[in-house]
Amino acid sequence: MLDRWVQKSIEESLSKFLKELSRPESVAEILPKGVRIEFPKKDGFGDISSPVSLNLASALKLPPRKVAEGLLRHFGNDRRFRTIEIAGPGYLNFTFEQSALRETLLGFLDGAIPLVEPVATPRRILLEFVSANPTGPLHVGHGRGAAYGDALARILKNIGHSVETEYYINDAGNQMEMLGRSTCLAWRSLRRQVSTEEVDGFLKGSTPYKGTYIKEIAKLIQETPGLLTPEEEKAAESSTGDESQYLPKFTHLSQLLIMEGIREDLVRFGVTFDRFFSERELHEEHSGSSGSAVQSWIGKIRDLTRESTGSAGVPDVYESEGALWLRTTALGDDKDRVLLRGDGRLTYFAADIAYHADKIQRGYEVLIDVWGADHHGYIPRMEAAIQTLSLLLGHKTEFRVALIQLVNLVRDGKPVSMSTRGGEFVTLREVVDEVGVDATRFIYLTRSHESSLDFDLNRAREKSMDNPVYYVQYAHARVMSLLKQAETRRVSLPERWEGSDLEPLTLGEEGEMIRFMDRFPRVLHDVGSSLEVHPFSEYLTEMARKFHHYYFHNRILSQEPGDRNLMKARLGLSIAVGRVLRTGLALLGVTAPESM
């Protein structure tokens, strides 16, 4: 709100200044990126500053300070600003009147100024995240994606977008068969000796999944009557039986149980999805149609691109070396990609094309995929596929990928090895059990998802009170404690604050807190466009810091009868801070306790 005032004032004066200079351009033409606004960290540079004169200098062929002087001449007499100064190389520094800030606070308290402003152009967004393969429990890396995706979804929704969240289950392909074989072997070894020769023969040279969860699944199958029919049990027991009699059952049961565990972990972590989308469905044949969804989409792309062989910008489907390829190099990929292998089986990429075609067809304007950073090589081919599909479906779709960098688990400063095969990895559940949901989520969200993160288990466990999340939560608890105290002291606070006397709020830091609160909507909007969540957690930490500082140095609940108005005004400010923290923490999926 305050930043908007400044922006508008500058635009107006710039427009007048351009007229004075007889320039034909409009404000938007001469400043295509708009009027830049900054919030100076240091004192003495105003409440809000703008380097707009520096940005305009070369276009207007005037020294920055001359531009600033010209702009300053055209500012009307706006009572909301105490001073507008030219500083340094040509910055315009704006300082607000305390009365304007008090007005803003009243607006917040009564909800006249909303804490969250809707974006100008709301969009239909599909946010896909986690999508961990159902071959094992979620580990700390998935947790980071879950915390990030969930917070992003909450924020995007909050600023007015229509957002749906989705988890893509890779429940098809070799890996699922390997999973079935792994649990089957574990199951056999519960019943009898299994020789290494038998293991090698059964696994066909591949590495099995090992973790304790495999044994648990085997045990469950063994101990739950009725899961296997007597025939299946008999066939599965021997190494010479017909695999098709029992292996699909092991695969199915394993996947079901693992997926159930994943869902539980997610719920416990506070993450829910609007939809779980199964890859297998894309491979299923439907009666009356021409094969599976995957086959059908490949066919459509093939038809579409048949005539355009070799033409730039349109990847066509072609046959080579007995396989079917998509010419993704036409759109910048390193090499073309196989859709249908020589052995007649479809690739993962082919299924992903069908999946994203399905998303596009559902009418979303923006697809956001949250992937692990090890998938970055996959982006160009997926972009090529999406462009082709957009062409095919006549429906332009924006595709954005957020790559989540690695989480390095650290214990006592030493890295913990996280090999999925060996089962040494630490699961999300273990971490959450030790550290708690709030702290885990906050730790994930205080760093850019684009940088790898060191997650020190011992630090998070033993010294968990040093965790920044408690700093923010404690600030909220302090506000709530103040309000409780006020209640027992029978301080009456207005239902509507409009017209209340906030004049006693004269301190610089009080104004600073109001100004900082006022930035809330802008920070959220920045998250929406950059897809970076961590600046928002930093914002909340800073809000908490300002309040702790204020609280320590200023008495809020006064004992002097003459200070009643001061007390009320300060309580009002505290209430507003509490609301900012509560709203903000909720957007990160973190609780805001009333006491700790």
Site residues for RNA, 44-103, by CB under 7 A, read 44-46, 49, 51, 54-55, 57-58, 64, 87-89, 91, 93
* C-alpha dihedral (253, 257, 258, 259), degrees to nearest 10: 100
Q: Pull the structure tokens for residue 320.
A: 């080579």
Q: How far apart are CA 466 and CA 448, in angstroms?
A: 20
Asked if 441 is part of the footprint of RNA (rule: CB under 7 A), the reply reads no
**Where does this chain touch RNA (CB under 7 A) — which range of 12-20, 141-149, 287-295, 449-457?**
449-457
Single residue of 9, 104, 133, 397 touching RNA by CB under 7 A: 133
Question: Segment 212-251, which members bind RNA (CB under 7 A)?
Answer: none
> In sequence order, which residues have a C-beta less than 8 Å from that of residue 487 and are 6 or more positions away?
none
Q: Is 532 in the site for RNA (CB under 7 A)?
A: yes
Which residues inside 14-33 make contact with RNA, applying CB under 7 A? 33
The C-alpha atoms of residue 351 and residue 298 are separated, in whole angstroms, by 9
Give the separation between CA 119 and CA 308, rounded to whole angstroms. 40
Binding range to RNA, per CB under 7 A, among 102-110, 289-297, 341-349, 425-433: 341-349
Tokens of 466: 């040093």
Structure tokens at 590: 């973190």
User: Cβ 440 to RNA, closest distance in Å?
Assistant: 15
Q: Rank residues 33 and 79 by Cβ distance to RNA and give the closer one.
A: 33
Tell me which residue of 373, 470, 518, 557 sits closest to 37, measured CA to CA: 518
Smallest gap from Cβ 230 to RNA, in A, equals: 32
Rounded CA separation 36/373 (Å): 32
From 7-15, 150-158, 357-365, 549-557, give the range in contact with RNA by CB under 7 A.
549-557
Minimal distance, residue 363 CB to RNA, in Å = 27
User: Would you mind telling me the total number of residues written for the chain in this entry?
Assistant: 596
Return the percent helix, strand and coil in the chain, to nearest 5: 55, 10, 35
Residue 302 CB coordination number (10 Å)? 16
Which residue type does 503 have?
E
The residue range among 75-83, 222-230, 270-278, 442-450 that interacts with RNA, by the rule CB under 7 A, is 442-450
What's the longest Cα–Cα distance across the chain? 94
| Of residues 364 and 425, the one with the C-beta less far from RNA | 425
Cβ proximity to RNA: between 31 and 156 the closer is: 31
Binding region for RNA (CB under 7 A) out of 66-74, 226-234, 385-393, 532-540: 532-540
Tell me whether residue 183 or residue 541 sits nearer to RNA (CB atom): 541
Tell me, rounded to whole angstroms, the distance of Cα 328 from its chain centroid.
Answer: 29
CA distance 237 to 97: 82
In 3D, which of 576, 578, 579 has the Cα closest to residue 511? 576
Q: How far is the CB of 193 from RNA (least distance, A)?
A: 30
Least Å distance, CB 192 to RNA, is: 30
534 binds RNA (CB under 7 A): yes
Applying CB under 7 A, the span of 120-128, 267-275, 390-398, 474-482 interacting with RNA comes to 474-482
Q: Which of 224, 238, 290, 485 touches RNA by CB under 7 A?
A: 485
Residues with Cβ within 8 Å of 101's Cβ and at least 6 positions away in sequence, in order, are: 2, 505, 510, 511, 514, 515
Among 78, 358, 430, 538, binds RNA (CB under 7 A): 538
Interacting residues with RNA between 281 and 340 (CB under 7 A): 320-323, 334-335, 337-338
**Residue from 373, 392, 416, 491 in contact with RNA (CB under 7 A):** 373
- Strands 398-404 and 124-128, by their bridges, are unpaired
Candidate residues 230, 287, 553, 561; the one interacting with RNA per rule CB under 7 A: 553
- Residues of this chain, 163-182, that bind RNA according to CB under 7 A: 170, 172-175
Does residue 220 sit in helix, strand or coil?
A: helix
Site map (CB under 7 A) of RNA, residues 384-413, x = contact: -------------------x-xx-------
> How far apart, in whole angstroms, are the C-alpha atoms of residue 514 and residue 574?
10
Taking a C-beta distance cutoff of 8 angstroms, is the pair 436, 464 a contact? yes
Instruction: Report if residue 439 touches RNA, rule: CB under 7 A.
Output: no
Site for RNA in 100-119 (CB under 7 A): none
Least Cβ distance, residue 293 to RNA (angstroms): 16
DSSP character at residue 594:
S
Interacting residue with RNA among 197, 242, 343, 412 (CB under 7 A): 343
Single out the residue of 22, 193, 196, 559 in contact with RNA (rule: CB under 7 A): 559
**The binder of RNA chosen from 332, 342, 363, 494 (CB under 7 A):** 342
User: Which distant-in-sequence residues (6+ apart) come within 8 Å of 509 by Cβ?
Assistant: 546, 549, 550, 553, 554
User: Is 296 or 448 the residue whose CB approaches RNA more closely?
Assistant: 448
Which alpha helices (H) appear in 453-533, and where do they start and end?
457-462, 468-488, 508-517, 520-530
The H or E element that residue 401 is part of is strand 398-404
Q: Residues binding RNA: what is the number (CB under 7 A)?
A: 87
DSSP element (H, E) containing 209: none
Of 398, 407, 397, 404, give the one whose Cα is nearest residue 370: 404
**Measured between alpha carbons, how far is 500 from 468 in angstroms, rounded to an integer?**
35
Could you tell me if 469 and 443 are in contact, meaning their C-beta atoms sit under 8 angstroms apart? Answer: yes
The answer to the question of residue 254 lying near RNA (CB under 7 A) is no
**Smallest gap from residue 404 Cβ to RNA (A):** 10
Q: Which of 122, 423, 436, 468 binds RNA (CB under 7 A)?
A: 468
Minimum distance, C-beta of residue 376 to RNA, in the bound complex (Å): 4
- Name which position in 68, 186, 453, 517 contacts RNA (CB under 7 A): 453
Neighbours of 138 (CB within 10 A): 25
Residue 25 CB, shortest distance to RNA, in Å, is: 18
- Find the binding residues for RNA in span 348-367 (CB under 7 A): 348-349
